[in-house]
A and B are shown apart, each in its own frame.
Chain A
């Protein structure tokens, strides 16, 4: 398989997994800007910032899946099928649209209806 096809498959898998991890939002380090301290917690309380830890999980998951996907596709022989570029485009854009839609719905319910 061509290197560009491997990169395309790996980046699409990375985007898909990163979207899932971002929506799941596993426990992570939370930054407390007034105390200038980090704590490992499930949920933020007071003036706290969950975004750093959540983004780190998302990007780390994406990077790990990209690496695994790139090396796993290195074993595949032959040319990529003709439908692959369109399928990958649909998968990656679809997962991004869905994730952003779910985030917007969650924030709408959390903040905008107050």
Chain B
């Protein structure tokens, strides 16, 4: 018996929901950054992205053993080795994108100065915020496309 195999389908569905939420939050974040560099909603989107992406990553980690045995080892490695290659890129890109997601959250967090209202302090780091959020969006879109396509070949 593989760990979490009995609940793999529901976890896979939650993984999909987290992916949709992550993409939506990242697109909103980029649109806000392009329109206005000082906007408190930038932090709301970055925080949503962090929560959704950590959920996405965690759920993917939990479903992975079932996928590794039932789909990859029993089917993809033999019939579609190139699909295994695509999956390998997907899982490694997911790990590398986690740090920029945390960075976006920390960089957009408002800073409290005594009793003053928190100031949006992301103004000076707009190139970094745009660069990191664009990379995260590219990884999310690539991973969503690969995940969907692999699902058409075989799923948990």
Q: Interface on A for B, CB 8 Å cutoff?
A: 2-5, 7-8, 11-12, 14-15, 18-19, 22, 31, 33-34, 36, 47, 49, 51-52, 54-55, 58-59, 62, 80, 85-86, 88-90, 92-93, 96-97, 99-100, 103-104, 107-108, 110-112, 114
Contacts and interface: CB of A to CB of B under 8 A. Distances in A.
B103 interface: yes
B137 to A, nearest CB: 12
Given A51-B64, A92-B103, 12 more contacts: A4-B125, A8-B128, A18-B96, A18-B99, A62-B99, A92-B100, A92-B131, A96-B96, A107-B85, A107-B86, A111-B82, A111-B88
Contacts of B66: 33
Contacts of A108: 85
Interface residues of B, number: 43
Main secondary structure of the interface of A (DSSP, over half): helix
Contact of A103 (B89, B97, B106): B89
